[in-house]
Amino acid sequence: MLFTTAVASPVWLWLWLLAAGSASASASASTSGLTWHWLNYPGVEPVSPVGRSVTIQVPPDTDIWRPAISKHNFTAPFLYTSVPAARFRSVQVSVAGPWKTLYDQGGLVLAFPNRRNPNATRFIKAGIEFNDGAPALGVVATDILSDWSLSPVTEKQAGNAEATILVERDGTDAWVYVLEDRGRTRRALRQVTWAFNEDGGQGLAREVRVGIYGAKPTEESGEGHARDDIAVSFSGFVLKTV
């Protein structure tokens, strides 16, 4: 442990540790009073995912995806809170589920609402998505239209692919990572350069809705199973602001 050594620590190191602990506590306290909301999940009371596990029973024919201007699809259950975009620092969560049907998915969403036209809302979603018979790490970034990227899942747990996803702000960029080796390493999945652009002339949002989601675009096969849902589970949610 850090403080069991007999060698005296320099004063600057003690001061740095105290400051780091204070900053961490301040970041945690700054998000403790946020209000949470459900979108597309009627009849379920919203809760804060901080410090607890959350499972979403995701119905079929749901997604967050805009392949064309006329096809804005934001129908997936989404548990979110709103923070000023200028204050956002990072968010992470671990997501798992019994992925088995094409496009079964769940993870993080950052949505930048367009008050004048909700169908023009910019968003980033990142997590696990089932494709080609196996779970993968999927990221969708939507400015005008959605694009999509996949990376391999290199860690699995107890039959359900699980991943810890981190979205971190770097200037005007949002970087999407997967945390591996029990969080000791991180692998970059995507750089989204427009995420925190503050140019009001482009109509970019001044707030971000951040939270967790699950989606099931494809119905189950087999008689009587078309309306089966999927249980997507989340843990370790951390939202940091400045």
pLDDT tens digits along 35-50: 999 999 999 999 999 9
pLDDT at 11 over 60: no
pTM of the model: 0.85
pLDDT at 30 over 70: no
Q: What is the pLDDT of residues 118-175, one digit of tens each?
A: 888 999 999 999 999 999 999 999 999 999 999 999 876 656 789 999 999 999 999 9
Residue type for 25, please?
A: A
Mean pLDDT of the chain, nearest integer? 86
Longest dimension (CA), the chain: 71
Q: Give the DSSP H or E segment for 19.
A: helix 11-31
Of 216, 194, 38, nearest in space to 112 by CA: 194
Residue type for 188, please?
A: A
CA distance 31 to 242: 10
Average pLDDT over every residue of 198-213: 80
pLDDT at 208 over 50: yes
CA distance 104 to 193: 27
The SS3 of residue 118 is: helix
Per DSSP, what are the bridge partners of residue 151? 137
The set of residues, in sequence order, having a beta carbon less than 8 Å from that of 221 and lying 6+ positions away, is 101
Look at 33 and 215; give whichever has higher pLDDT. Answer: 215
Q: Where residue 114 falls among pLDDT bands split at 50, 70, 90?
A: confident
Q: What is residue 223's predicted lDDT score, i.e. its pLDDT?
A: 80
Give Cα 201 to chain centroid, integer Å: 27
